[in-house]
Amino acid sequence: MGHKPTYNELSSLISELESKLHEQDKKIAELRLAKARYRSVINNAVDAVVMIDDRGIIRDWPEQAELLCGWSRNEIIGQPLFRLMPKGLHKKHQRHLREVISGNRGNIFGKRIEANVLYRGETEVPVELTVTMNQVGDKKELALFMHDITERKNAENHLKHLSLTDELTGLFNRRGFIALGEKQLQAACRNNWELFLLFADLDDLKIINDRHGHKAGDLALVETADILTKTFRRADLLGRVGGDEFVVMFTDRKSKRSEDTVLDRLEKNLNKNNRRKGRLFHLELSCGTIRYDHGSPCAIEELMHRADELMYEKKKEKKSLKKQQ
């Protein structure tokens, strides 16, 4: 027969087991505390920190991710990462995921990448994305740090808009007109479209300012911009390139538009505006229009310069006729 433990031996064994259980309970409590601390940090972080396994399956989804992408934990845990991505990028992201997991794209780790994620699979949200890779046991996991940059993008677009447009009239400023006009000129050359450039000067703006004040002068400029907008098509390019100078680039793809047709329509819209009751001033424009010569190509600045010279000649003729009257 084996040795029968004594009471003291049993007591000692029980005490040892109780001590081990106490230590185990203590470690479990510490692990629970660490998990709660981790969850609190992740949920309150500025970034949404999403954990992805080596198959591209979402394994952790904090509250910030819910706010950013609209999916709850129950809806998204266990779903593929590509559910968050615009559909046109699914294959690209699948290929990149395999390369990242294999270590072939290690240069992306820790870098800030601008991308778009989907809010509930529909609306695109711009984010700044950072990727890290961790070894968990014998497998790898990816951590995606996603920071919503919607406000920054809106601010950038607003600044870009301000840098290209005239604040008073909403038309393109000189910089915006030249930048976009160059592209329109290139398209006209590629497709052999007829292209025209109209340079218009608002007559007697100084007199309007002197007689009625600068608010009236600003109103005259805004009215001129509105008349030009009504006269030309939405596809045409309109700009205010100086204090009282406006420029329009328009194309004729079907040989149905001409300088005379456009100028007649502009004159009718001016007259209609001037016939309104209670006006302090009348608007008059001096215009120079030039057709782009595909056989003698030039830059848009040169085209503007030539149209400006034609406008100046028309203005001199108009002043000469007024003097004779």
User: What does the pLDDT read at residue 216?
Assistant: 94
- Looking at the fold, whether 320 and 180 belong to one and the same domain comes out as yes
User: What does the pLDDT read at residue 245?
Assistant: 96
CA–CA separation, 174 vs 249, rounded Å? 13
What's the total number of domains in the chain?
A: 2
Question: Residue 5 in 3-state DSSP?
Answer: coil
How is residue 183 written in tokens? 């592209």
For 190, residues 6+ apart whose C-beta sits below 8 A from its C-beta are: none
- Looking at the fold, whether 125 and 272 belong to one and the same domain comes out as no
Question: Residue 100 in 3-state DSSP?
Answer: helix
Write down which residue in 164, 194, 218 finishes a domain.
Answer: 164
User: What does the pLDDT read at residue 34?
Assistant: 61
Would 6 be classed as within a structural domain? Answer: no
- Looking at the fold, whether 175 and 148 belong to one and the same domain comes out as no
- Looking at the fold, whether 71 and 110 belong to one and the same domain comes out as yes
- Looking at the fold, whether 128 and 269 belong to one and the same domain comes out as no
Would 25 be classed as within a structural domain? Answer: no
- Planar angle of CA 37, 43, 45, nearest 5 degrees: 95
Contact in structure between 209 and 216 (CB atoms under 8 Å): yes
- Looking at the fold, whether 171 and 252 belong to one and the same domain comes out as yes
Would 2 be classed as within a structural domain? Answer: no
Contact in structure between 141 and 132 (CB atoms under 8 Å): no
Half-sphere CA count of 154, side-chain side, radius 13 A: 5
Contact in structure between 195 and 297 (CB atoms under 8 Å): no
CA–CA separation, 137 vs 141, rounded Å? 10
**Per-residue tens of pLDDT for the chain, all 325 residues:** 567 777 777 778 878 887 888 788 777 776 776 666 656 655 666 688 898 888 889 999 988 899 899 999 999 999 998 888 888 777 777 777 777 777 666 566 768 889 899 999 889 999 998 888 887 778 888 888 898 999 888 888 887 888 899 999 999 999 999 999 999 999 888 888 889 999 999 999 999 999 999 999 999 999 999 999 999 988 899 999 999 999 999 987 655 567 788 889 999 999 999 999 888 899 999 999 999 998 888 999 999 999 999 999 988 888 877 777 6
Contact in structure between 127 and 117 (CB atoms under 8 Å): yes
Where residue 77 sits, what CATH number does that domain have? 3.30.450.20
Write down which residue in 98, 130, 164 finishes a domain.
Answer: 164
- Looking at the fold, whether 88 and 77 belong to one and the same domain comes out as yes
- Looking at the fold, whether 59 and 200 belong to one and the same domain comes out as no
- Looking at the fold, whether 170 and 297 belong to one and the same domain comes out as yes
- Looking at the fold, whether 145 and 234 belong to one and the same domain comes out as no
User: What does the pLDDT read at residue 42?
Assistant: 58
CA–CA separation, 261 vs 252, rounded Å? 12
User: What does the pLDDT read at residue 37?
Assistant: 64
CA–CA separation, 293 vs 306, rounded Å? 12
Quote the domain boundaries for residue 197: 165-324
Burial 12-35 (b: 16+ CB within 10 A, else e): eeeeeeeeeeeeeeeeeeeeeeee
Would 280 be classed as within a structural domain? Answer: yes
Write down which residue in 137, 164, 191 finishes a domain.
Answer: 164
- Looking at the fold, whether 135 and 257 belong to one and the same domain comes out as no
Where residue 187 sits, what CATH number does that domain have? 3.30.70.270
- Looking at the fold, whether 290 and 184 belong to one and the same domain comes out as yes
Would 22 be classed as within a structural domain? Answer: no
User: What does the pLDDT read at residue 39?
Assistant: 60
Would 39 be classed as within a structural domain? Answer: no
Would 14 be classed as within a structural domain? Answer: no
Would 35 be classed as within a structural domain? Answer: no
User: What does the pLDDT read at residue 55?
Assistant: 87
Q: What is the pLDDT of residues 207-264, one digit of tens each?
A: 999 999 999 999 999 999 999 999 998 889 999 999 999 999 998 765 556 778 888 9
CA–CA separation, 85 vs 233, rounded Å? 37
